Amino acid sequence: MSDKVEQAVDRIAKALNLADLSETRWHRRLRDFQALDRVVIEVVPRYKTSGLSGDEWRQSVKVTGLFKGIEIFGFICGRDMETAFAMLPGKRIEWGDHGLADELIAQEKECCDQPSCLNGWTVQYEVNKLTADDGSWLDPADKYFTYYRQFCDEHKRRGDCSREDADENYKLVATR
């Protein structure tokens, strides 16, 4: 490494060591988070006018992917549903290559974390303990941030079936 790069790396390392990240709040998604919670496939009619070939009704098929009520991606294809169904997997992969849309993240900040719920959040809970993907508890010493989740009045009662997403694993930190 060059001297300038080493110096920059050293400055970044020192800044990170001095930073108190324990008070930084991070939104922690539920394990079953879905970037798309609704897909609409619909026939869209239109009336075509042409002095050359004449006038007629035509149709296209529009596919729209939504997250909590806002359009995240969409495309128009052909004239039949079968074509739309055939194109959907490839379009979904293509859309996923671009990462999460800014609109999705903005909407997520305002909405309840329960998948497909369109309500705004009314409570924020700090997550006391974190779990691994297999449900086992993670070492609390490895928790460097304060994680939170947010829910509406309808979904604020989380129950006791899950480990991480359970009433006893949350501490109320904000209401609105």
Instruction: Give the model confidence (pLDDT) of 140-173 as tens digits.
Output: 888 888 999 999 999 999 999 999 999 999 999 9
Average pLDDT over residues 43-63: 93
Quote the pLDDT of residue 15.
66
Give the global pTM: 0.76
d(CA 176, CA 167): 19
Quote the pLDDT of residue 103.
87
Angle at 108 between CA 104 and CA 109, to 5 degrees: 125
d(CA 154, CA 144): 31
Q: Do the beta carbons of residue 56 and residue 40 sit within 8 Å?
A: no
Angle at 118 between CA 123 and CA 68, to 5 degrees: 120
* Nearest Cα residue to 73 out of 51, 50, 94: 94
Question: Which of 27-36, 50-59, 133-142, 167-176 has the highest mean predicted lDDT (pLDDT)?
Answer: 167-176
Residue 75 Cα to chain centre, angstroms = 20
Quote the pLDDT of residue 21.
57
Q: CA distances (Å), 165 to each of 29, 48, 134, 161, in order?
A: 10, 53, 14, 8
Q: What is the dihedral of CA 113, 117, 123, 125, to 10 degrees?
A: -20
- Range list of H helices, 69-164: 81-96, 102-110
Average pLDDT over residues 45-62: 93
Q: Greatest CA separation found in the chain?
A: 75
What type of residue is 67?
Answer: F
d(CA 124, CA 172): 6
Q: How many CB atoms lie within 10 A of CB 72?
A: 19
Instruction: Give the model confidence (pLDDT) of 76-116 as tens digits.
Output: 998 899 999 999 999 888 887 777 788 889 999 999 999 99
